[in-house]
Chains A and B, each alone.
Chain A
Amino acid sequence: MRPSVTLLVASRYFRTRRRETGNTSSILSVVGTAVGVMALTVVLAVMNGFQLGFIEPLVEISSYHLQVSRNGPAGGGNGPAEPAFVKRIRGLPSVTAVVPFVERQALVEGPFQRPRACQLRAVPPDLFALDPVQAAMLAPREGSFDLSGPRSLVIGAELAAVAGVRVGDSLSLTSFAAGPDGRPVPRKAEFRVTGVFRTGYWDFDIGLVFVSLATADEVFGSGSPLPRTYGVKIANRFLDGQVLRKIAPLLSGTGYSVESWRTYNKSFFDALFMEKLMMMVLVGLIFIVVGFNVFHSLRRSVHERMEEIAVLKAVGVPPGRVQAIFVLEGFLIGLAGALSGLLAGLGVAMNVNAVFAGVDAVINGLTHAVYALASVFAHGGSEGSFAMFSPAYFYLSQVPSRVFPQEAFLVCFFAVLACTGAAWAASRAVSRFRPAEVLRNE
């Protein structure tokens, strides 16, 4: 095998520098990189957790991954008779569910509340069997998701609270139906609450009720079935474009069209994306600091090894390969920092609530000690209770956290890139001087 002078020298320098000098600057470089990677991993994980708390309910409950409708989303349809294309869509390999639904604005009125606006969604009674992912999000906290009985209704937990209803109670729902002359007329009906759900998404918990399609047809259909829209779920919602291109030809000539989840709430999703991007950029600035640290560390290393660099060049090692020795060292610093930072970041991200609880305990312990000390000299006051994250302020019981492997890889990649780039910049001097200049001075 052809021997590599670059690998031999770089690996020896990497080891011996530590042995000889303790190499504080290189250790700091590794630690700095690790802290940067850890911080960015945790920030992205928590941000993903919060953002997915919005995105997933919207995509899984509201918009579905794709919607097939006659006149745009939640538009017209042909009533309960299922069009032929629905069966063909169900047969596509990546499609996991096709759910017919009807959506209406409505007013809900409980015993202790004035009418309040809500979204009325009529779905098949076997929704949970058709779409298990949606079922997991709508898992009832009280009662069951039972729409099989006449005038059954499942309601969001917050809406149930403000309406003052529980499972078994009645409430009235008002919506519009087409009158005899085709103009909308209000229809009001009493419903019995069979289940209360909590998605964790405030807008749904305060503003969404479910009834069965049959009930909706009966109450608001004016004698004829309401037009259906078909929500389509696919195995990977990010491959929506591929499936959309397969569905579109099936709808040719039917008067229906298909749209992706990306087109609904587009401005909201764009805002979330921008928020995340800006946060990544801001936290990613730490890599500039890391880069400077590596730059100075390796520039000092180049300066200290000038004589050896001159000797290597004198015996014929090309400047590029000599520079590669230092670039490789920067790469190794970046890799060591990125891997250790990633491990630490994953550890924190997966236990973020325990970490917060630990910080809370430390701060509260310190506060308690200060108040105890102060009480020796004065009476009164209270020690309070510090909490970094409190459900009292957020509509969440815990800090959500979600790590995406591709993002973690990207963070590590940029960390290694910053270190390698800094090493390259620091070692550019290697190719500039002539060996005689250094060896003459020695």
Chain B
Amino acid sequence: MNEQMKSALRDPLVSVRSLARRFPTGAEYLEVLTDVNLEVPRGTTVAITGESGCGKSTLLALIGGLDRPTAGSVYVGETEVTGLEESGLSRYRSRDVGFIFQFHFLLKDFTALENVIIPGMLASASARLLRERGRALLEEVGLEKRMNAWPVELSGGERQRVAVARALINEPLLLLADEPTGNLDERNARVVEDMLFSLVEKHSRTMIIVTHDHGLARSADTRFSLSGGMLRGE
């Protein structure tokens, strides 16, 4: 690996600067994030822990372009996410980011394979190639025999594995995982955790994971704690 490539890998993929988010609560405002600064180098994993309601998911939503901040900025690569219009945000969410939620949020009227390929339909020019890629990803998460199952026919762990495959379909730069094991029992949580980290490593992805689970957080390269609306290194 030459110096230029090493330098590129050292460059932060995600830069969060003075990020603030408040929510109106009647006549007053609830300050959830006050001054968040974060840099995530390419190809690394970052875990953010914190108490319930401290703003972990809000921070993830802001980085993923699902919400807009009250102040501050988010850069992913060269893109200032916080400056994007609605169409630009959709493109960003489709191409650059893969989401994994605590609740799998699979579309119940679509099979496992269809759930995986739907985000890819926006970018892919070929339905056949897309289905092939979807099948390959479901094989990678161990669901080769459950491709045509409906979400209601899948177990909690299987649904979350479908969600992981869905997040990877567009080969995003950045994976954002919001309590990916929070809704699973201990055994399934470890299965999903191992699978998630091995896929991130295999596909050389950058991942930000927010979790209560300190065991899961320890698997990340870097850990932060969120409290009082600010991030602190652990």
Contact = CB atoms under 8 A, between A and B. Distances in A.
Interface of A: 1-5, 8-9, 12-13, 16, 307-308, 311-319, 431, 434-437, 439-440, 442
14 contacts: A2-B125, A3-B117, A3-B124, A3-B127, A5-B118, A5-B121, A12-B110, A315-B166, A316-B92, A316-B122, A317-B94, A317-B122, A435-B66, A440-B57
A5 B68 CA distance: 26
B107 interface: yes
Q: Nearest 9 pairs between A and B by C-beta? A: A316-B94, A436-B67, A315-B119, A436-B61, A436-B66, A3-B127, A316-B93, A318-B90, A5-B121
Interface string B106-144: 011110001001110110111100100000000000000
A307 B106 CA distance: 10
Interface string B176-189: 00000000000000
B199 to A, nearest CB: 17
A167 to B, nearest CB: 76
Chain A's interface: helix, strand, loop or mixed, by majority? helix
A16 B109 contact: yes
Given A308-B107, A315-B94, 18 more contacts: A1-B127, A3-B130, A4-B121, A5-B122, A312-B118, A315-B166, A316-B91, A316-B119, A316-B122, A317-B94, A317-B118, A317-B119, A317-B122, A318-B90, A435-B66, A436-B66, A439-B101, A442-B105
Interface in B31-47: none
B20 to A, nearest CB: 15
B109 A434 contact: no
A2 B86 contact: no
Contact of B105 (A1, A16, A439): A439
Contact of B58 (A5, A431, A436): A436
Contacts of B109: 12-13, 16
A12 B114 CA distance: 11
A431 B166 CA distance: 23
Contacts of A16: 109
Given A3-B121, A436-B66, A315 B93 contact: yes
Given A308-B107, A314-B93, A318-B90, A434 B127 contact: no
B154 to A, nearest CB: 16
Contacts of B108: 308
A419 B57 CA distance: 39
A310 to B, nearest CB: 8
A313 B110 CA distance: 16
Contacts, number: 88
Contact of B121 (A8, A13, A313, A318): A8
A6 B230 CA distance: 40
Nearest to A434: B67
Contacts of B110: 12
A319 B118 CA distance: 15
Which of A5, A311, A315 has most B Cβ within 10 Å? A315
A439 B99 CA distance: 12
A315 B125 contact: no
B119 A434 contact: no
Contacts of A311: 105, 107
B66 A2 contact: no
A343 B66 CA distance: 47
A8 B120 CA distance: 13
B95 interface: yes
Contacts of B67: 434-437
Contacts of B90: 313, 316-319
A315 B130 CA distance: 16
B99 A315 contact: yes
A431 B126 contact: no
